[in-house]
Chains A and B, each alone.
Chain A
Amino acid sequence: MRYDAIIVGGGHNGLVCAAYLAKAGRKVLVLERRHVLGGAAVSEQVFPGFTFSVASYVVSLFRPHIIRELELARHGYEIIPMDCSFLPLPDGDSLARWGDSNRSRREIQRFSRKDAEVYPEFSRIMTLMGRFIKEIIDRPAPDITSMKPKELMNLFRMGKAFKDLGPDLLQMNVKLMTMSAVDFLDLWFESDVLKAPMSVSGIIGTYQGVRSPGTAYVLLHHYMGELDGAFRSWGFSKGGTGGVSMACARAAMSYGAEIRREASVAKLKIKNGAATGVVLENGDEIDSKIVVSNLDPRKTYFELAGKEHLEDAVVKQINRYKFRGSSGKVNLALDRIPEFKCRPGDGDHIRGDIAIAPGIDYLERAYDEAKYGAFSRRPYINVVIPSLTDPTLAPPGKHVMSCFVQYAPYHLKEGAENWPAQREAFGDTVVETLAEYIPGLKDIILHRQVLSPWDIEQKFGLTEGNIFQGELSLEQLLFQRPIAGYAKYRTPVKNLWMCGSGTHPGGGIMGSGGELSAKTILRERAI
């Protein structure tokens, strides 16, 4: 039997791609190496009774039109919004930013009256610029080298969206593209306490610091979130982020796609330079008209296709494509609600995201250590306790605490393979850091799961543990993601396509790679 398309990898993008292709009447097979679907958007019961969003842990950017077109709500897609961004400080003070803007203003003005007033202005500007970005992320990247009328039209449309921003915003946009997150925030704010937690949005998943140029752009991602148009644009997926993937999988199956787990693909079948199917680890061969890879660019080009099928120039480009994973994850099962020294007791302040980012210098120092191949002794930590809003995740009264930790560079001074030896020390550092804010934390930890970037690579197949399948830096975006000339989901190997975060528009649980690749495949009548 021959499939129209085989999707290699059942991450959320692979599943979205499968759903769109199957909905269009194509015969689709998804092959997932692991026993669970979702890739990095996965929920797993790591300890009995405790369900973790093991890797990716919050949702904001998932495109609303995909939810609609694939009827994901009907298939169980459900997001519970977060109402608060909480920043505990070592001196016992703290800052909480709320969905209620007046409440946020009162919080911020304790640190700066000026910043409190400017805060909504900043949001306004970012929202306006987010409109321009939306124009970009909801379409395949234009090909700037092509003179085809269609490509020129695409470029023109992008140019028009750019121009429509008006002179002031245009200028601002240029600043955003070139400045560091901190420099950009300095244009508005004076308080370190406010700027520090805002600036980290610019460095998530990158091997850069908050003062590194180019990091400002990623700030914008925080203003593109569209959870029902609500201001609090980040939320928890019901049942963990695997819930998003499962909804995509159910949608795909409802349209007739077939999904196989524990089916590890060894290699592409290539005949006369064109993909004709895949070979599984167990030796089985499955034929298809096209293969769509949900894997990252290096795995797709080098492992699935193989260097021997690529030109030297392409091999060089993929070699240069930057992964440099810089973050780890510590998942804790807790015996009860953790209490912060600065705001003791239960409350809505711990129901959103909690940032350990007490100052710009703290963050930059954390990066300093990483630059020379060590994990930060006092890292930036983004904590969420989703079981407070979604009781299905833990037994009554107990909780799951997810900690995203940066920096944990993949390339340790001693080499990446040294991570297993340093893993627990890294976990200890995270717990020690948190314990400075949550004094009783150590006593209530029931279980601990530590994922270094090396573990992330092993477990999820993400090269060098990069959570976005390659850094979201400007030179690796748009028509250069993953490499120039192959930014439209095609690869140099005929009938091999890509759909993951390593394609335009990049990482985060968006579904865009899956959607745009499928739509491109259908439009170009590849199957």
Chain B
Amino acid sequence: MIDLCESMNWKEWAGYHAVSSYKVLHDSEYHAFRNSTGLLDVTPLFKYHVRGKDAAAFLSQIMVKDIRKLKVGRVSYLCWCTDEGKVVDDGTVMRRGEEEFFVTSADPCFSWFSRFLKGYLVTLEDISDQFAGLALQGPTSRDILKQICDADLDGLVFFATTKTRIEGFEVWISRTGYTGDLGYELWVDNSNALKLWDTAMAAGKNYGLRPAGLNALDVCRVEAGLILKNVDYYNALHVLIDARKSSPFEISLGWTVNLDREPFNGQVALRREIKTGSRWAIVGLDIDWPEIEALYARHHLPPEVGSLAWRMSIPLYTDDSRIRQIGYATSGTWSPILKKNIALATIETGFHEEGTKVHIEKTVEHHRFSVTATVHKPQFYDPERKRSMPGGKAI
């Protein structure tokens, strides 16, 4: 990977150096995700094994979703909360067996999970350093995987997982990812990680596979409306002030919450929030391009289209007077595939309905202005192939 990373553009990710872009310009990696396939190392994610008779019950207590209902071979995306109903982290839970689960998280959560072990017949194992993850994401990813394993990929639905062998070693495949496209994540013991990388690269040769870095991923995940911890929200355990804490409802993850069931972490607070209403909501913003063009035209400049996704806080206002602030955008990008200037934003509820017009600050030639943005659901891009099955049936 070091040889492939021509740009020497790396960034820190959970204590590892991860490739930001292999080439100086990441565009080709982005277009690989959307038109062929990108191969991305996601090993820095935190990974846990949860096994035992009570594994499902245990996870159901710490997660906002009722994991007992998760079928074997299926994956669930969710978050977990403090007793105050504030989000600690988001991640996936994969049910590999009746009593065997695989959990991924963005932050280390071993200690947090351990606090709730008491009374459960369960073992929690931090396997972050023993297992590697490779994301194979893009329209040709299924064809590539078919070259290297005999798992029933045509039968593997969106958010399902299965065990297979590649080059003789064991690999868990999950039809998951962070690009909002057709794609898979491969989980493998560290000792076989490099072999898996090489095998995938070789198999992908005829399918437009290229290694892709986090810059390209960042554009994709904003298009897909997938939020990112420490960018679009913060871990409630790590912040200094309450204002930085968010409930699942406030970060567009309300749909992951199963409220009416046996007690779970945050249940009481979340029930209360349902009654009283949430203060914030994460929404998508479609930022008006002609208005931006007009601002640049004042300076006789063509509008600047940054090819990188941005991550900073940009104020949102009710109107152009910029007196009443109603929220802030947290990340955004020019979407090459949608031809739109889009962002993810935290906004006061009441302004979060789709179609609401708000104003977002825009700096052009060192001067601050504002332009109109239209509230959209966070997910801008959702191709049919993400969920579709080769036979035509979709879930």
**With the chains together, A80 CA to B302 CA distance in Å?**
21
CB B305 to nearest CB in A, in angstroms, measures: 4
**With the chains together, A81 CA to B290 CA distance in Å?**
22
**With the chains together, A348 CA to B210 CA distance in Å?**
11
Q: A68-B289, A389-B208, A396-B143 are in contact. Are A230 and B27 (CB under 8 A)?
A: yes
Q: A229-B303, A230-B27, A348-B28 are in contact. Are A389 and B206 (CB under 8 A)?
A: no
Interface membership of B298, Cβ < 8 A: no
Q: A228-B305, A391-B207 are in contact. Are A83 and B27 (CB under 8 A)?
A: yes
Contact in complex: A73, B340 (CB < 8 Å): yes
CB A315 to nearest CB in B, in angstroms, measures: 43
Which residues of the other chain, B, contact A397 by a CB distance below 8 angstroms? 205-206
Which residues of the other chain, A, contact B158 by a CB distance below 8 angstroms? none
Contact in complex: B140, A391 (CB < 8 Å): yes
Contact in complex: A73, B24 (CB < 8 Å): no
Contact in complex: A80, B31 (CB < 8 Å): yes
Q: A131-B300, A230-B307, A391-B140 are in contact. Are A100 and B24 (CB under 8 A)?
A: yes
Question: Which residues between 292 and 307 of chain A lie within 8 Å of chain B, taking CB atoms?
Answer: none
Interface membership of B261, Cβ < 8 A: no
Contact in complex: A81, B31 (CB < 8 Å): yes
Most chain A CB within 10 A, of B25, B36, B139, B337, is at: B25
Q: Which of A99, A103, A229, A389 contacts B36 (CB 8 A)?
A: A389
Interface membership of B336, Cβ < 8 A: yes
Interface membership of A388, Cβ < 8 A: yes
CB A519 to nearest CB in B, in angstroms, measures: 16
CB B30 to nearest CB in A, in angstroms, measures: 10
Which residues of the other chain, B, contact A230 by a CB distance below 8 angstroms? 27, 305, 307
**With the chains together, A102 CA to B304 CA distance in Å?**
20
Which residues of the other chain, B, contact A127 by a CB distance below 8 angstroms? 302
Question: Which residues between 360 and 417 of chain A lie within 8 Å of chain B, taking CB atoms?
Answer: 388-392, 396-397
Question: Which residues between 199 and 253 of chain A lie within 8 Å of chain B, taking CB atoms?
Answer: 226, 228-230, 232, 238
Interface membership of A457, Cβ < 8 A: no
Contact in complex: A228, B336 (CB < 8 Å): yes
Most chain B CB within 10 A, of A226, A390, A392, A396, is at: A396
CB B369 to nearest CB in A, in angstroms, measures: 19
Q: Number of A residues whose C-beta is below 8 Å from B?
A: 36
Question: Which residues between 288 and 326 of chain B lie within 8 Å of chain A, taking CB atoms?
Answer: 289-290, 300, 302-305, 307
**With the chains together, A77 CA to B289 CA distance in Å?**
18
Contact in complex: A396, B207 (CB < 8 Å): yes
Q: How many contacting A-B pairs (Cβ < 8 A)?
A: 77
**With the chains together, A432 CA to B281 CA distance in Å?**
64
**With the chains together, A65 CA to B28 CA distance in Å?**
25
Most chain A CB within 10 A, of B206, B302, B307, is at: B206
CB B144 to nearest CB in A, in angstroms, measures: 9
Question: Which residues between 128 and 184 of chain B lie within 8 Å of chain A, taking CB atoms?
Answer: 139-140, 143
Which residues of the other chain, B, contact A67 by a CB distance below 8 angstroms? 339
Closest to A64 in B: B339
Contact in complex: B208, A391 (CB < 8 Å): yes
Which residues of the other chain, B, contact A100 by a CB distance below 8 angstroms? 23-25
CB A201 to nearest CB in B, in angstroms, measures: 20
Contact in complex: A83, B208 (CB < 8 Å): no
Q: Which of A78, A83, A229 contacts B25 (CB 8 A)?
A: A83
**With the chains together, A259 CA to B35 CA distance in Å?**
29
Closest to A394 in B: B206
CB B112 to nearest CB in A, in angstroms, measures: 42
Contact in complex: B303, A78 (CB < 8 Å): no
Interface membership of B334, Cβ < 8 A: yes
**With the chains together, A232 CA to B25 CA distance in Å?**
11
CB B24 to nearest CB in A, in angstroms, measures: 4
CB A483 to nearest CB in B, in angstroms, measures: 33
Contact in complex: A391, B28 (CB < 8 Å): no
Interface membership of B239, Cβ < 8 A: no
Contact in complex: A73, B27 (CB < 8 Å): no
A sample of 8 inter-chain contacts (CB < 8 A) reads A73-B338, A81-B336, A238-B35, A348-B23, A389-B28, A389-B208, A390-B36, A390-B208
Q: Which 6 A-B pairs have the closest CB atoms?
A: A397-B206, A229-B305, A396-B206, A73-B339, A100-B24, A391-B208
| Sample of 4 further A-B pairs with CB below 8 A, known A64-B339, A73-B339 | A67-B339, A83-B28, A102-B24, A348-B28
Binding site for B on A (CB under 8 A): 64-65, 67-68, 72-74, 77-81, 83, 99-100, 102-103, 127, 131, 164, 226, 228-230, 232, 238, 346, 348, 351, 388-392, 396-397
